[in-house]
């Protein structure tokens, strides 16, 4: 508890830098990641992140110390090399993009490991700090680095603000953007440079191995909550910054624990919660919707068979009937049927009279509507397509539940049928 209070109140001045640093890093990568995600180039970020290791090591060897400018410069260089190599392999050979990413990623990462062993074997001061680039150590962020991360964030935000429309159009429809006369190559170049920049800033906190999570996961989680790019960007940033600061806290509270894994864990949990509970595309919502549809179809089918039974027996639609009567027109399981009848009663479409039932005024309207839709569609298929009358029933059975009143009117006009057609196929 004490550490939490210390953390929130910035008692330790380093905490301010760590939190500010995480905010800059995570905002940058979430913004850039959203575009990468929409362009379906999420894993290029993975290749870039792994490829930064040799760049960081080269920068370290050249500077002889952990100079952030050299490290970022080296990282930027090899990050660009990685994107170039992936594109080169894809364009020059029959090798697919994912394999090309795997080749470039592992080769450059391996080369980085080689360079790291060179550094460890040589006499360099302060070489221990390099390990932080592998798995991330937010606690190591210092004042100078916060300034640099802030500048990177500023560059990314300004570029996104000015190129918003261009980024949007190449993210959603590259071919359209090209045919509309946008300089797609230049835009791609800008976007790739920003991606490399964002990833290079992030490896300090997340490490090269897990950095791709900061690119992919916030965008994937945000996608569940919005279809609007602006809103999506905002949500991705909020998710990312929240996980970043929380992860930094865990790492702060337990000295020596790397930050990267915790940030990724928290981000992934947010994503899992998003895809289960999202009100737009969540798995739970979709299951509920499917069940609701299933129930609607079932009760409509009962209403339809009530009509058909009365028609068959040449009785008036308002006359009472027994539940078992319906089984002679349509196959229901008795348990399901009883449940459905109770549902209809609750809706006020059906009235119970002892062991029998009869339709209420609303129920009569509703059952007539469905039978009418069914038969209208059958007639439409018969007259307007070359379907045989043995086959029109199945199509109508499916579509009767979704036909809107507007389409009903259209059909009526098209076929010239008023009321309920007599023939049933």
Question: Where along the sequence are the contacts to another protein (CB under 8 A)?
Answer: 37, 40-43, 45-46, 89, 92-96, 98-99, 101-114, 116-118, 121, 131, 134-135, 209-210, 212-213, 215-217, 219-220, 223, 256-258, 260-262, 264-265, 268, 271, 275, 281, 283
d(CA 109, CA 112): 5
Nearer to another protein (CB atom), residue 98 or residue 362? 98
Residue 190 contacts residue 163 (beta carbons within 8 Å): yes
Distance in Å, CB of 79 to another protein, minimum: 16
Total residues belonging to the chain:
425
Residues 6 or more apart in contact with residue 4 via CB below 8 angstroms: 249, 253
Distance in Å, CB of 199 to another protein, minimum: 13
Rounded alpha-carbon distances, angstroms, from residue 159 to 69, 154, 190, 219, 305: 21, 8, 9, 19, 63
d(CA 425, CA 318): 24
Nearer to another protein (CB atom), residue 142 or residue 268? 268
Distance in Å, CB of 412 to another protein, minimum: 38
CA angle, 395 then 399 then 403, to 5°: 145
Distance in Å, CB of 214 to another protein, minimum: 9
d(CA 324, CA 185): 70
Nearer to another protein (CB atom), residue 5 or residue 255? 255
DSSP letter string over 234-270? HHHHHHHHHHHHHHHHHHHHSTT--HHHHHHHHHHHH
Distance in Å, CB of 127 to another protein, minimum: 14
Six token digits for residue 19 = 């939190």
Nearer to another protein (CB atom), residue 118 or residue 365? 118
Nearer to another protein (CB atom), residue 265 or residue 297? 265
Nearer to another protein (CB atom), residue 242 or residue 425? 242
Nearer to another protein (CB atom), residue 102 or residue 395? 102
Pairing of strands 350-353, 321-322: unpaired
Distance in Å, CB of 164 to another protein, minimum: 22
Distance in Å, CB of 103 to another protein, minimum: 5
Assign 3-class secondary structure to 38-84: HCCCHHHHHHHHHHHHHHHHHHHHHHCCCCHHHHHHHHHHHHHHHHH
């Amino acid at each position: 508890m004490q550490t939490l209070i210390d953390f929130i109140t910035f008692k330790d001045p380093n905490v301010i830098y760590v939190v500010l640093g995480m905010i800059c890093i995570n905002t940058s990568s979430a913004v850039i990641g959203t575009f990468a995600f929409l362009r379906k180039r999420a894993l290029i970020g993975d290749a870039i992140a792994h490829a930064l290791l040799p760049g960081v090591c080269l920068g370290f060897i050249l500077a002889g110390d952990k100079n952030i400018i050299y490290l970022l410069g080296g990282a930027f260089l090899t990050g660009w090399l990685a994107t170039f190599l992936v594109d080169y392999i894809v364009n020059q050979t029959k090798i697919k993009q994912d394999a090309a990413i795997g080749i470039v990623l592992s080769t450059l990462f391996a080369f980085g490991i080689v360079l790291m062993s060179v550094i460890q074997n040589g006499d360099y001061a302060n070489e221990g700090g390099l390990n932080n680039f592998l798995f991330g150590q937010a606690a190591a962020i210092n004042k100078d680095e916060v300034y640099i991360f802030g500048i990177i964030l500023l560059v990314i935000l300004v570029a996104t603000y000015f190129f918003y429309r261009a980024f949007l159009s190449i993210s959603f429809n590259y071919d359209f953007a090209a045919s509309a006369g946008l300089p797609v190559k230049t835009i791609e170049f800008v976007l790739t440079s920003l991606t490399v920049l964002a990833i290079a800033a992030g490896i300090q906190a997340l490490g090269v191995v897990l950095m791709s999570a900061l690119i992919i996961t916030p965008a994937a989680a945000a996608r569940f909550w919005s279809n609007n790019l602006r809103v999506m960007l905002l949500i991705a940033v909020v998710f990312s910054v929240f996980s970043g600061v929380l992860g930094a806290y865990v790492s702060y509270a337990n000295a020596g624990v790397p930050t990267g894994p915790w940030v990724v864990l928290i981000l992934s949990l947010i994503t899992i919660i998003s895809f289960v509970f999202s009100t737009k595309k969540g798995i739970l919502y979709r299951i509920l919707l499917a069940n609701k549809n299933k129930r609607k179809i079932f009760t409509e089918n009962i209403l339809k068979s009530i009509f058909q039974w009365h028609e068959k027996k040449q009785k008036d639609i308002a006359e009472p009937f027994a539940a078992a009567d319906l089984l002679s027109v349509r196959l229901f399981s008795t348990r399901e049927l009883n449940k459905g009848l109770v549902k209809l009663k609750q809706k006020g479409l059906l009235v119970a009279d002892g062991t029998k039932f009869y339709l209420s005024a609303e129920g009569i309207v509703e059952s007539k509507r469905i039978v009418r839709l069914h038969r209208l569609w059958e007639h439409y298929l018969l007259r307007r397509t070359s379907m045989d009358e043995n086959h029109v029933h199945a199509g109508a059975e499916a579509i009767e539940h979704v036909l809107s009143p507007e389409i009903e009117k259209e059909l009526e006009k098209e076929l010239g049928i008023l009321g309920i057609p007599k023939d049933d196929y």
